[in-house]
Amino acid sequence: MQSEEKTILQRVVENFVRTGNASDENVKVTSLPKGKTSYVEQIGVDGRSIMLKEYRVDGTVIYAGYSSRSGTVYLSLING
């Protein structure tokens, strides 16, 4: 994963866990149902699988993934 993507994911995940706000000024943020570890992103007739990685922030476990194609961060809460 590229450094910029890691920075985006870390920023969005920390903001979501600490404030409950699933939004960001620079990227779209989409909340998925609890416990999801992957998501198929549909753009037109094409589908793309987005794999979510586990993050732990302040005792909360959340899965997150980033699509550079759509500029979207996908979040799925595991516990918290």
pLDDT of residue 57: 93
Q: Is the pLDDT of residue 80 over 70?
A: no
Q: Into how many domains does the chain fold?
A: 1
Dihedral sign (CA 21, 44, 65, 12): negative
Structure tokens at 66: 């980033």
* Residue-range definition of the domain harbouring residue 67: 3-79
User: pLDDT digits over 23-45, tens only?
Assistant: 899 999 999 999 999 999 998 88
Per cent of the chain over pLDDT 90 is 75
* CB within 8 Å of 32: residues ≥ 6 apart: 39, 52, 74, 75, 76
Distance, CA of 77 to CA of 69 (rounded, Å): 23
User: pLDDT digits over 46-76, tens only?
Assistant: 899 999 999 999 999 999 999 999 999 999 9
